[in-house]
Chain A
Amino acid sequence: MIQTSTATRPAPAEIDRSVQGTVLFCFGSAIFWLLAGCLLHAVAGAKLVMPGFLDGIGFLTYGRVLPAATNAIAFGWASLSAIGVALWLCARLNGAMLRASALIVSAVVAWNAAVLVGVLAILAGSSTGIPGLEMPGGVSVVLLVAYLPIGLWALSTFRTGAPGFVSQWYLVAALLAFPWLYTTANALLVWQGTPGSAMGAIFAWFDSGFFGLWLLPIALAAAYYFLPRAAGRPVFSRGLASLGFWTLVLCAGWMGTSRFQGGPIPAWMVSAGVVAAILLILPAIAVSSNLYLTIGDACERLWMQTPARFLITSAVFFLGWVSLLIIVTLPPVNSIIQFSLVNPGLTQTALHGIASLAFIGVLYALLGVRHPESTITPRSSLVFWLIVTGVGLILCASFFGGFFQGFALSDPIVTFANSITYAAPFRWVELAGHLCLLAAAAGLARDFAEQLLVSSPAQAPKPAAAQRPEVAAV
């Protein structure tokens, strides 16, 4: 790790100037992928309610459009914005200037090119068929190579000694977990195949880890960084923060196999997955209560600040998502809803309700550094409510529709066709949710472009937030 002495620590404004171009480039390209992914997801949703819509065309068939959408969102939007958040927070927390921005920008360009090739390859019919890992093997090699300078630089900003800030723990965890997860999954499932049902367990480990050890920790790092600063108070309890962190990194890897209840993998693996999913309540309660107690009576004031509103809601979604996940993981419930709309709906809730909201909150904080604006603007408020409404519609539709569908799929005297009929109205609601997310992405893209055009770093006044001393718990 690079030593960065306190005496030579640059001013926060200087740090921001060194990283903001790179981070804004990450976010700019991520927003393109959010738009593309939401559009593709809306097309896939429309195909489920109107099977004749764009039917019979190879590259637009449902089974290609859906994975193209999920990969664009996971690797284009979520991962690129997570990288942007990680770069900025590592620089801020560790007092590091980004001097190798050309290298990092080149890596982000390569990342974008790889995702573009990957998404087009899925549409063209070169999918691997492994959910979440559909992009061809060559694409994942480029993504890992592109990640190398990004991850190494971010980790190199950490000084020796125990990281003092809670956000730092989450950043280290995420930065190390991503290459571990992605290399393992590609080596065993994509670059060379693993025959048999082992694939299910390995895929489950990757899939739950991709959210729980990569995207979620970066979202929580952002919450632990920005919310105490905005409230002007240190993190309420370091002990609670530690409990939340360690239980999350333990449970996130183990919980994946809970989705294979009754499936062709050993029962102990499934049981371990169910226990881990239930134990996820510990980090959810620890994190949300810690943040709530940190904010305290400043909640109303923070609600009027764009980044804080996004981050608070993200933490609320975290608690809500875990609570629902536990309910649907309990075996008597799981046996009914296992193959229904419920699980895809919960995945969307986690992705957009937790990760997207948090990352967009950070983006507004960064735009705020260039263009200080403490109160929420009508445009950012619209983006916020469109995402919350979109996620809310998808969650309600998948939950209620999923239970109807699940009961139909479980009852031996109900035909399979009835399970389609029961789910149909809820699929329309789900489509409305995806259209809200698409509108939010369009609103965000417009807001982003306008704010970049109206302010330039040279004109931007000194950031108020950046001048304040670090107030997170040490």
Chain B
Amino acid sequence: MTKLIAGLVVAVGSSWAAMVAYPFAKLATLQPEVSEETGGLLPPPLPGNAIAGQRVYAANGCVHCHSQQVRPAPFATDIARDLGTRQTVARDYLRYDPAFLGLVRTGPDLSNVGVRHQEAAWFFRHLYEPEQVTPGSIMPSFRYLFEEREIQGQRSALAVDVQGPHAPKPGYEIVPKQDAIELVAYLMSLKRDYPLTEAPPPPPAE
């Protein structure tokens, strides 16, 4: 019995040391770099709303459809497909807890969704009526992160320009709840377009 348990501790313990203890000690303690160009930190710190948005991303299971990994060429075609200009590396994720690496692409990769879309209004409308914004999309609607309310005086600056079947009644508007605001702040923070020592920017196109 003792030999069996000792053998198990060695067999399972070896993988524990390599796949748990090592990354915990090395990857989780990575520090940001100082940009030679701007003197700022890379990756840049996240705004408060984006940090809070991680909870909304987790709660609604976005990770079950969206990855956040750009794999290097020539192993994969992620860069040729414009998912990013360079591969994503461990340091890219040090601001995120948890890092939603993702295992499937039922929806597109979001590593650089904040580079591809820079208007919060686009994100709000896409979350509210995905099929209207991206025809053929099978993403569920996150209408429950929004509220329909009567327009009081001026229309809200955050009001969503809804065009599909779930448009508000006349005199009403669709505005994002706090969860939607935080989620969009998080999504807009997903930009891995800064240079890092281990992931330099791509050479300029000729």
* Any B CB within 8 A of the CB of A199: yes
Q: Shortest CB–CB separation between residue A206 and chain B, in angstroms?
A: 8
Instruction: For A250, give its contact among B11, B95, B105, B166 (CB under 8 Å).
Output: B11
| Chain B residues with CB below 8 A from A62, complex form | 61, 64-65, 140
| Chain A residues with CB below 8 A from B67, complex form | 339
* Any A CB within 8 A of the CB of B115: no
| Chain B residues with CB below 8 A from A266, complex form | 26-27, 90
The segment out of B17-25, B33-41, B118-126, B153-161 that lies at the interface is: B17-25
Known: A56-B144, A129-B98, A130-B98. A331 touches B27 (CB 8 A): no
Contact status B140-A202, CB under 8 Å: no
Contact status B140-A264, CB under 8 Å: no
For chain B, residues 126 to 143, give those with C-beta under 8 angstroms from any C-beta of chain A. Answer: 131, 134-143
Q: Shortest CB–CB separation between residue B88 and chain A, in angstroms?
A: 5
* Any A CB within 8 A of the CB of B76: yes
Contact status A55-B103, CB under 8 Å: no
The segment out of A19-27, A28-36, A407-415 that lies at the interface is: A407-415
Contact status B90-A47, CB under 8 Å: no
The segment out of A77-85, A173-181, A228-236, A312-320 that lies at the interface is: A173-181
Known: A253-B19, A269-B23. A200 touches B104 (CB 8 A): no
* Any B CB within 8 A of the CB of A417: yes
Contact status A195-B95, CB under 8 Å: yes
Instruction: For B8, give its contact among A172, A188, A421 (CB under 8 Å).
Output: A172
Chain B interface, >50% SS class: loop
A276 to B12, CA, bound (A): 13
| Chain A residues with CB below 8 A from B100, complex form | 129
A202 to B98, CA, bound (A): 12
A201 to B93, CA, bound (A): 13
A266 to B91, CA, bound (A): 11
Smallest Cβ-Cβ distance to B109: which chain A residue: A339
Known: A51-B131, A331-B75. A66 touches B64 (CB 8 A): yes
For chain A, residues 46 to 86, give those with C-beta under 8 angstroms from any C-beta of chain B. Answer: 47-48, 51, 55-58, 61-64, 66-67
Q: Shortest CB–CB separation between residue A112 and chain B, in angstroms?
A: 23
Q: Shortest CB–CB separation between residue A280 and chain B, in angstroms?
A: 13
Smallest Cβ-Cβ distance to A193: which chain B residue: B97
- Interface-central residue, B14, B19, B137, B139, by most chain A CB under 10 Å: B19
Smallest Cβ-Cβ distance to A160: which chain B residue: B1
Smallest Cβ-Cβ distance to A126: which chain B residue: B59
| Chain A residues with CB below 8 A from B166, complex form | 56
A266 to B28, CA, bound (A): 13
Contact status A63-B65, CB under 8 Å: yes
Instruction: For A246, give its contact among B11, B64, B78, B145 (CB under 8 Å).
Output: B11
Contact status B61-A199, CB under 8 Å: no
Contact status B103-A196, CB under 8 Å: no
Contact status B71-A335, CB under 8 Å: yes
Contact status B106-A48, CB under 8 Å: yes
Contact status A161-B98, CB under 8 Å: no
A161 to B106, CA, bound (A): 52
Q: Shortest CB–CB separation between residue A167 and chain B, in angstroms?
A: 13
Q: Shortest CB–CB separation between residue A177 and chain B, in angstroms?
A: 6
Contact status B28-A61, CB under 8 Å: no
Contact status B59-A262, CB under 8 Å: no
On chain B, the number of residues with a Cβ less than 8 Å from chain A's Cβ atoms is 77
Known: A1-B1, A262-B72, A412-B81. A63 touches B64 (CB 8 A): yes
| Chain B residues with CB below 8 A from A162, complex form | 1, 3-4
Instruction: For B101, give its contact among A48, A252, A264, A417 (CB under 8 Å).
Output: A264
Contact status B60-A64, CB under 8 Å: yes
A199 to B24, CA, bound (A): 8
A386 to B169, CA, bound (A): 48
Instruction: For B76, give its contact among A172, A196, A335, A417 (CB under 8 Å).
Output: A335
Contact status B4-A194, CB under 8 Å: no
* Any B CB within 8 A of the CB of A296: no
| Chain B residues with CB below 8 A from A351, complex form | none
A47 to B89, CA, bound (A): 33
Contact status B140-A161, CB under 8 Å: no
Q: Shortest CB–CB separation between residue A257 and chain B, in angstroms?
A: 6
| Chain A residues with CB below 8 A from B22, complex form | 201, 269
A203 to B89, CA, bound (A): 17
Contact status B61-A253, CB under 8 Å: no
| Chain A residues with CB below 8 A from B59, complex form | 64, 125-127, 129
* Any B CB within 8 A of the CB of A158: yes
Q: Shortest CB–CB separation between residue A246 and chain B, in angstroms?
A: 7
Contact status B63-A131, CB under 8 Å: yes
* Any A CB within 8 A of the CB of B62: yes
* Any B CB within 8 A of the CB of A340: yes
| Chain A residues with CB below 8 A from B106, complex form | 48, 420
Contact status B104-A129, CB under 8 Å: no
Q: Shortest CB–CB separation between residue B144 and chain A, in angstroms?
A: 4
Smallest Cβ-Cβ distance to B144: which chain A residue: A58
Q: Shortest CB–CB separation between residue B97 and chain A, in angstroms?
A: 4
For chain B, residues 76 to 93, give those with C-beta under 8 angstroms from any C-beta of chain A. Answer: 76-78, 80-81, 87-93
B: residues with CB less than 8 A from A are 1, 3-5, 7-8, 11-12, 14-16, 18-20, 22-24, 26-28, 30, 54, 57-65, 67, 69, 71-72, 75-78, 80-81, 87-106, 108-109, 131, 134-145, 166
What are 17 A-B contacts defined by CB distance under 8 Å?
A: A56-B144, A62-B140, A63-B64, A64-B59, A64-B60, A162-B1, A195-B95, A196-B90, A198-B23, A198-B28, A249-B7, A253-B19, A266-B90, A269-B22, A343-B103, A416-B108, A417-B136
Given contacts A64-B61, A264-B69, 17 further A-B contacts (CB under 8 A): A51-B137, A56-B141, A128-B58, A163-B4, A195-B93, A199-B98, A204-B19, A205-B20, A209-B15, A253-B14, A253-B15, A261-B71, A263-B88, A264-B92, A343-B104, A416-B108, A417-B135
Q: 6 closest pairs, A vs B, by CB?
A: A63-B61, A129-B58, A253-B15, A262-B71, A198-B27, A339-B105
A: residues with CB less than 8 A from B are 1, 47-48, 51, 55-58, 61-64, 66-67, 125-131, 134, 158-163, 169, 172-173, 176-177, 180, 184, 188-189, 193-202, 204-205, 209, 213, 246, 249-250, 252-254, 256-257, 259-266, 269, 272, 276, 331, 335, 338-341, 343-344, 409-412, 416-417, 419-421
